[in-house]
Amino acid sequence: MTARVDGTPLACGASIDRGDYVELNYMYVLPACRGMGLGKQMLEALEQQVRRTGARTVKLETGTAQTESIELYERAGYRRCPPFGDHRANANSIFMEKTL
């Protein structure tokens, strides 16, 4: 999924159906566009897409240095969880999940 203005991509994100849950990946907002609410809008759009598939659990991995992203996810109701899928514990990673 990509958010565009006048054809220029400003934010993107993807979801991958993993069977028991959907993993959000590749959430990104151009640095010049951060603070405009695009990350929140992208997250909400991805969650709506997941809901339409009937899935109820969303998981993601983010870096410990991504403080703005962590705050966004926490405000949206995501809580920390153990590593999942092919992910392994890593001092630079935070794993989060949300039940829709």
DSSP assignment of 42-100: HHHHHHHHHHHHT--EEEEEEETT-HHHHHHHHHTT-EE----TT----TTEEEEEEE-
Q: Which CATH number is 36's domain given? A: 3.40.630.30
Are 33 and 5 contacting, i.e. CB atoms less than 8 angstroms apart? no
Question: What is the structure's pLDDT at 3?
Answer: 86
Question: What is the structure's pLDDT at 46?
Answer: 96
The number of beta carbons lying within 10 Å of the beta carbon of residue 31 is: 7
Q: Which two tokens stand for residue 41?
A: 């809008």
Tell me the pLDDT tens digit for each residue of 35-71.
889 999 999 999 999 999 999 999 999 999 999 999 9
Domain membership of residue 53 as a residue range: 2-99
Are 53 and 18 contacting, i.e. CB atoms less than 8 angstroms apart? no
Element (H, E) at 41: helix 38-53
User: How many domains is the chain partitioned into structurally?
Assistant: 1
pTM of the entire predicted model: 0.91
Burial of 40 (0-12, 13-18, 19+ CB in 10 A): middle
